[in-house]
Structures are given as C-alpha cells and as structure tokens.
Amino acid sequence: MISAIHPLLVRGWSSRAPLAAAFLAALAILSPASKAQTAATPASSKTAAPAHKHPAADPAPSAPVKTIGNHTAPITMEVFSDYQCPSCGNFYETTLRSMIQDYVASGKVYLVHHDFPLQMHNYSGQAARWANAAAMVGQFPEVDAALFDNQAKWTADGDLEKYVATGLSPANFKRVQAILKGCTGPAPTSKVDHTLPQPEAGCPVDPYIIQDIVLGTQVPVQATPTFVIHYKGQSYPASSGFITWPILKQFFDTLLSQ
Amino acid sequence: MTANETRGPLARTLLILGRLALAAIFLFAAYAKLKPQAAMRWSGSSIKTSLSLFAMQVDSYQLLPPQMVSPAAHFLPPFELFLGLWLFSGVLLRYASLTTTLLLSAFFAVMVRTYTAGLEINCGCFGPGERLGPLTLLRDGSLLALALAVTIGAFMLRRKRRHESAPVAGVSAPQRAD
C-alpha cells in the first residue's frame, strides 16, 4: 500500500521502508475503510490530470488524493505539514500559494501534502481529518486553502466546520460531513515519544493520517513544515521551516537546468 | 628547567592542535555544504545545486532579505574553505584566528537569536539535515571558545616572541612572519 501511494518517498528511505510497510499492511487489514480504498489509490495517483481537477461528483469516496498538480511534473515536492502550526500557515500563504500558481500550474512541480499533526496543537488532528475527507471527494486543494486561510480564526474558536464549508459547495460539504460521521473521538497526532496513534474505529480517514505520520517519522520530520524534493528519481535532503518563494524557485530552477 | 620553560612548548603545542582542529572543522563544514547531493558527481552543476540547497537553509533563518540570501549562501562555503586552509597553513595566525572568532561569533549570535525566537529549522552548519537545538548551540559555543583561545594564544605568543627577539645591546633579531 505504501509503495503504491508514495513510490518516491519509499525509494528515498528504502532502508526503513520494510518496517513501515509491515505496519501499514497491518493497518490496512485492520481498517475496513482503507481495505475498500486500496484498489482505487494507484489509479488516482497515476492519473495525468491535475488532482484539483478531479470531478467532484464521484459517486463514492475514494482514497484521499492530497496532491496538487500533474504527477508527471519533473519535480515532486512532498510537504509534511500541521494545519495549526503558524510556520506552516505562513509557508502556505507566502510560498506554496505562489508555487501553486506558478510552477505547479505550469507543470514543473507536483505538490504532495502529508499530514503531520503535532500533539501540542488542539485542533490540528481534526483539521487533518477534514482535509483528508475533502481529499476523498476530490476537494483537497480547496479545503487545504480554506484551512490555512482561516488558521488564526479556527485556532481561536475550534470551529473548523464553519471554515471548511467556505471552501466547498453545499453538496460537497455534505459528502465530507458524511465521511466524518464516525469520527467523534480524538484525532490522531504525532507523539512526542514517537509512539504511533491508534485510528478511531469507524473513522475512515484516520488510517491515512497515521500513514502520513509514519512516513514523516521515517524522514525524519523534526519540525513542521518539513519538505522533501525529488528530481530525476533522486531525493534531496529534507528542509524545515519557512522558506521564501524566490529562494525555493531558485532551487527548482537549478534542478531544472541540470 | 623552569616552569616558564616547560609551559612555552606546551602552549605552542596546544596552539598548533587548536589551530589544526579549527582548520579541520572549517574544511569539513565547507565540504559538507559543497559536496554533491542526491547521487550527483562533483561538477560545477553539483556545486551550484548544493549552494542552492544551502541558500534555503540560510533563508530559513529569516534574517536576510531574499535578495541577500543567495549571495550570502554562495559566499559562506568558499570563505569557510579559505579560512580552513588559512588556519591549516598557520600563516599570520593571529589574523586567521581573529577572523575565525568573529565569524563564529556571528554564527553563534544568529543561532541563539533563531533558537530563542522559537524557529524550528535546520542548522545548516555542516550541510543539510541537522536540526538547530541545544546540542548545536553547545557545539558552536564550544567552537567559539576554542577559536577565542587560539586567538588569545596566538597574540600572546606573538608578544612573547617580540620580547624575546627585542634587540639586546645593539644586536638586531630576525623578523618573523607572525
């Protein structure tokens, strides 16, 4: 399952992949939701169409596609992010937004989002649930933007639902709400002691969040945002913190000129 | 043999060891920043890529405006290489160690400021992938102390040599490089 979803990442940290693959295989067997969605994942990740243009009217929710852009783009950038972390919000608003409008839109970069909700943040796990549910109905970019755009507001009042609704049509919002119907308990987050969180039975998005946390632990993600850039099958060392778009763009241009 | 006579060679040996340790550290720091990343081979392109990657680490400190980040990232590793070679040569050691102390002071001040501001970033001290934290601060603080000790030692040695080589009864002493 892991290699089907994240072939580039697994190639980058192949030495630790068997352990994670074993864990995720066990998780997939235990989780009825992920069992049903495993078959749909490779197809959605291999589609040539940009993820944000997936039809929103899919009859049944599929595995979350938390990507923006064309997967055939020469550069892939994987971002491990926490929706409640201020640096992540700043990074999205000032760097990723420009990147999406410029290099993702022009097919140079394929952006892959991974959830890495931190234990210290009250609502980041729940925000990740909303993002994953939206990604199941092909609305990830919209909810991703809505969450970061309103980060200060929902961090203050905890009312995620209100702000997620601003990024979706009423019909899609209802579908997302339906997916999260069984998610009533605490959302999974990464732990300070590196133990893995348990998915809530009946919450179909939790296994995907935990899967991202496992991947992040392999990198290893020590702070958010952390991002890994891949080019021509090679993975470059992970970087953490806020980077401005001109400097990130310069790195992309250096890679593309090789 | 007097205490002063035994202390002299010991101080000189410590000064040489400190100088060589600093030289090795700076040469390694430059190498770690310039070395090819992601299975590339040494080439102009690989160095350009490594420096662009280092620029992202410089940028993450949020200290310099974007237009200054790239020049700083392209200047620092070659300067560290130059400083490492200068320390290794031992030529004009007072000035080499003083430059090293000033550079390490600047690095340390920036790191302390970044850490106390709560920014969770990579240090970038010895290439990518090392988080800025108490251990990196302790290490760089120790390096700064070493550089300061070498600088003080180099100046004291110079002063001692001046005294020793001061003209006695009209006999002039040969000039030294440092």
Write the DSSP string, A206-224.
HHHHHHHHHHHHHTT--SS
Q: State both tokens at A170.
A: 């009423």
- In angstroms, the CA A213 to CA A199 distance is 12
**Pick from A130, A184, A138: nearest CA to A162:** A130
Other C-beta atoms within 10 Å of B40: how many? 17
> Mind listing the pLDDT tens digit of every residue in chain A (258 residues)?
343 344 444 444 444 444 444 444 444 333 433 333 332 232 233 333 333 334 334 445 678 999 999 999 999 999 999 999 999 999 999 999 999 999 999 999 999 999 999 999 999 999 999 999 999 999 999 999 999 999 999 999 899 999 999 999 999 999 999 999 999 999 999 988 878 888 998 999 999 999 999 999 999 998 999 999 999 999 999 999 999 999 999 999 999 998
**A105 CB near a chain B CB, below 8 Å?**
no
Show the CA angle centred on residue A232, arms to residues A230 and A235, nearest 5°.
30
Contact check, Cβ <8 Å, A239/B60: yes
Q: What is the pLDDT of residue A61?
A: 64
Contact check, Cβ <8 Å, A236/B38: yes
Assign residue A148 a region (left: φ > 0; alpha: ψ between -120 and 50; beta: otherwise): alpha
User: Tell me: the pLDDT tens digits for B8-35?
Assistant: 788 889 999 999 999 999 999 999 999 9
Contact check, Cβ <8 Å, A251/B70: no
The whole-model pTM stands at 0.80
Helix (H), strand (E) at residue B10: helix B3-34
**A23 CB near a chain B CB, below 8 Å?**
no
Helix (H), strand (E) at residue A239: strand A239-240
- In angstroms, the CA A253 to CA B175 distance is 53
Compute CA A77 distance to the chain's CA centroid, rounded to the nearest angstrom.
Answer: 11
**B159 CB near a chain A CB, below 8 Å?**
no
Q: State both tokens at B19.
A: 């100088």
Residue B157 in this model has a pLDDT that exceeds 70: yes
Give me the mean pLDDT over the B98-108 stretch.
Answer: 98
Of A224, A247, A258, the CB nearest to B66: A247
